[in-house]
């Protein structure tokens, strides 16, 4: 079952299952002591917590865009075990439930290129061959991010996997941008860095309503405190600054904040104290 869409003016936002896995609770909350985060997110006995990799589908009257691509269907048995994959990537099936196919996607907006966001750029077809999951789509990534994909540092080598980009380099469907960029009116990319050097976020505006997708700067609604950041962040002080700035800016606009990794809450608004207010799909506070 997929979550009902959130309407932002004339746009609709859906969340598609890009695979669900379990990660160590400590890594998801960095330096925050477990005694604090476990009250909001009780871990299993092995200290892990469940996380989604929810691909956002944005439907406008003319276009279909997706934000990030999930884990994909290329994980090895060993990788499935390490990441405790408990629900496999089902983007193609989820698109069909909305009456779309993977050929209908016009744009793939990549917040960054870690495997949990870029794993579904390239998929295995029924013959086990690699092909673009969204064969007609223009894939948009920041220049700094792409430079790091092509020349990853030692740490990035474990998260930027070459097989996730192989076909993309050959097909010419990659657009590399440098800085802020309007895809078309209502869809704007903003370069942030922080989580990775070339991390970008997506602003979605229609008919006076706004949603902001902060990618891995705000992975779940439990990360709304600017100091609650992940151990996976490459530039932690910058992430804290960015969160303060973006949360304030979009809270003032009464914007929705949408999530990629949250297993329960798909979007929320924030109250003046910075805590989740209205949530989607849950109606209660
Ligand atoms: Zn992530």
Query: Where do the domains of the chain lie?
Result: 6-280
Average pLDDT over residues 14-37: 96
User: E strand or H helix at 124, and its extent?
Assistant: strand 122-124
Question: Cα of 60 to ligand 1 centre, how many Å?
Answer: 25
Question: Cα of 25 to ligand 1 centre, how many Å?
Answer: 14
Average pLDDT over residues 186-207: 98
Question: Cα of 180 to ligand 1 centre, how many Å?
Answer: 21
Collapsing DSSP to helix, strand or coil, 77 comes out as helix
Question: Cα of 145 to ligand 1 centre, how many Å?
Answer: 14
Q: Which fold has domain 6-280?
A: Metallo-beta-lactamase; Chain A (3.60.15)
For residue 248, what are the contacts with CB-CB under 8 A and spacing of at least 6?
Answer: none
**Length of the chain counted residue by residue:** 285
d(CA 87, CA 106): 26
For 131-166, the pLDDT digits (tens) are 999 999 999 999 999 999 999 999 999 999 999 998
d(CA 209, CA 186): 10
For 37-77, the pLDDT digits (tens) are 999 999 999 999 999 999 999 999 999 999 999 999 999 99
Question: Cα of 51 to ligand 1 centre, how many Å?
Answer: 10
Question: Cα of 261 to ligand 1 centre, how many Å?
Answer: 7
Is pLDDT at 285 greater than 70 in this prediction? no
Q: What is the percentage of the chain residues whose pLDDT exceeds 90?
A: 93
Question: Cα of 114 to ligand 1 centre, how many Å?
Answer: 7
Question: Cα of 116 to ligand 1 centre, how many Å?
Answer: 6
Question: Cα of 47 to ligand 1 centre, how many Å?
Answer: 19
Average pLDDT over residues 160-182: 93
Question: Cα of 227 to ligand 1 centre, how many Å?
Answer: 17
Question: Cα of 273 to ligand 1 centre, how many Å?
Answer: 26
Is pLDDT at 278 greater than 70 in this prediction? yes
d(CA 108, CA 178): 16
Question: Cα of 115 to ligand 1 centre, how many Å?
Answer: 8
Question: What pLDDT score does 210 carry?
Answer: 98
Is pLDDT at 282 greater than 80 in this prediction? no
For residue 117, what are the contacts with CB-CB under 8 A and spacing of at least 6?
Answer: 53, 68, 69, 70, 110, 111, 215, 216, 260
Collapsing DSSP to helix, strand or coil, 11 comes out as strand
pTM, rounded to two decimals: 0.96
Tokens of 145: 């991010």
Question: Cα of 124 to ligand 1 centre, how many Å?
Answer: 22
Q: How many beta carbons lie within 10 A of that of residue 172, not counting itself?
A: 8
Question: Cα of 55 to ligand 1 centre, how many Å?
Answer: 11
Question: What pLDDT score does 283 carry?
Answer: 58
Question: Cα of 222 to ligand 1 centre, how many Å?
Answer: 15
Closest-CA residue to 65 (of 11, 131, 120): 11
For 237-273, the pLDDT digits (tens) are 999 999 999 999 999 999 999 999 999 999 999 998 8
User: E strand or H helix at 146, and its extent?
Assistant: helix 143-150
Question: Cα of 99 to ligand 1 centre, how many Å?
Answer: 27
For 204-223, the pLDDT digits (tens) are 999 999 999 999 999 999 99
Question: Cα of 218 to ligand 1 centre, how many Å?
Answer: 10
| E-state strands within the chain | 6-8, 11-17, 21-24, 48-51, 54-59, 64-67, 107-109, 122-124, 130-132, 138-142, 174-177, 181-184, 187-191, 200-206, 209-213, 256-258, 267-270, 276-280
Question: Cα of 132 to ligand 1 centre, how many Å?
Answer: 21
């Amino acid at each position: 079952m997929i979550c009902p869409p959130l309407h932002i003016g004339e746009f609709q936002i859906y969340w598609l299952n890009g695979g669900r896995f379990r990660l160590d609770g400590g890594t998801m909350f960095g330096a925050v002591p477990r005694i604090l985060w476990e009250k909001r997110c009780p871990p299993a006995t092995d200290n892990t917590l469940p996380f989604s990799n929810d691909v956002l589908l944005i439907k406008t009257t003319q276009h279909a865009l997706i934000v990030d691509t999930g884990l994909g269907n290329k994980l090895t048995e060993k990788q499935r075990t390490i990441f405790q994959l408990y629900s496999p990537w089902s983007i193609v099936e989820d698109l069909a439930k909305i009456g779309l196919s993977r050929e209908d996607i016009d744009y793939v907006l990549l917040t960054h290129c870690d495997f949990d966001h870029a794993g579904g750029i390239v998929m295995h077809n029924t013959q086990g061959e690699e092909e673009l999951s969204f064969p007609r789509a223009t894939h948009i990534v920041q220049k700094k991010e792409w430079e790091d994909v092509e020349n990853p540092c030692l740490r990035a080598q474990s998260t930027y996997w070459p097989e996730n980009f192989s076909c993309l380099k050959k097909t010419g469907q990659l657009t590399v941008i440098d800085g802020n960029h309007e895809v078309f009116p209502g869809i704007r990319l903003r370069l942030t860095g922080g989580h990775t050097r070339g991390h970008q976020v997506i602003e979605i505006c229609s008919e006076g309503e706004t949603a902001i997708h902060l990618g891995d700067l705000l992975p779940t609604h439990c990360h709304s405190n600017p100091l609650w950041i992940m151990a996976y962040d490459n530039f932690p002080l910058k992430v804290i600054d960015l969160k303060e700035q973006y949360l304030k800016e979009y809270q003032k606009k009464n914007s929705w904040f949408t999530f990629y990794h949250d297993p329960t809450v798909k979007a929320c608004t924030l109250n003046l104290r910075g805590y989740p207010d209205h949530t989607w799909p849950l109606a209660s506070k």
